[in-house]
Structure 1
C-alpha cells in the first residue's frame, strides 16, 4: 500500500511540476510589433540584453547597439515569457517603442536565407543601423539635465547677487 501511495505521489509531482513555458497566442511573433530588427545577442544582465543591430525592419532608426528588456529586472526572478537570448545567436526581435520584448515576439534565425522562418518576414526595404556622431556617445537625456543644472546655478547666483545689492543700501 505504501509503495502504491509513493508511486502515485511521484507521478503527480512529475506531471504538475513541469518547467514554465511561454504560452504564445497563435500567430505571435515579431510581426505587428512597433519595432522589428535583425540582430545578434550579446551579454544579458539585469533583465537587459545588449544586441548588435544588423538591420531595422520596422520602427524608428536604431543605433548599432541597443539594450532590449528581455527579462525581469528584479534579481532571482524569472517569468515564462522572458526571452532567452543566447550570446552570439542571431534573432529577429519584435519590441515595443521602449525596446521591451518577450519570448513570444523573438525568433531565432539559423541563417539569413529568405526561406528561414523569421527571415520570410523580411521586408523588401530594410535599413542599416544609424551611426550617430553628433553626441559622441553621450546619452541624449544628459543634455537637458545639464542645461537645467546650469540654469539652476545661474538662477541661484543671480538671486544671491540681488540680495547682496539690496542689503548694501
Structure 2
C-alpha cells in the first residue's frame, strides 16, 4: 500500500505573520549589528586603557621599591662604616633593628619590648653574607604580618636589619591607584 504524503501549505495568516515579523525585524538587524560592533570596539578600547594603566602603576611601584631598597642599602652602608651605635632614621615603610650576638635585639624601632629578646630571624643572620641581603617574604617577627628584611653585615656594634612594613608599603602603592 502506498500512502501519499499530504503536503500542507501554510495558511494565509501564518504567511502574513511571518512577513510582518520579517518586515519588523529586518530593518533593525543592521542597527543591532552596528550597536554590537560599537560595543565590542568600546570594550577593547577600555581594556587597552586598563592594561596601560596597570603597566604604568607596576612601573611606578617597581621604581618606588627600587628607590626604597637603594636608600635602605645606603643607610646600612653608612651605619656599618661609622662608629655610631644608634639606628638610622626611620624611612617610610621601614623600621630598623640592631641585633647583637646570638640574635638578641639590642635596639629597635618596632616595639620597645623586643629589646633583649630573640629577634626571630637568627637563621637568616647565620646564613647571610657580608653584603646587605634581601630576605624572602616570611613571618620573621612574632605577632607581625609577613615581611621582608634587609640585613647588613656583622659589625662590632651588632648587625642592622631593616624591617619592611607591608601595610605602609601597601598604603604608599595604593595611593597611586584611582578608586
TM over 0.5: no
Question: Relative contact order: is structure 1 or structure 2 higher (C-alpha 8 Å, sep ≥ 6)?
Answer: 1
Larger % of helix: which? 2
Larger % of strand: which? 1
- TM-score under structure 2 length normalisation: 0.28
- TM-score under structure 1 length normalisation: 0.29
Of the two, which has the highest radius of gyration? 2
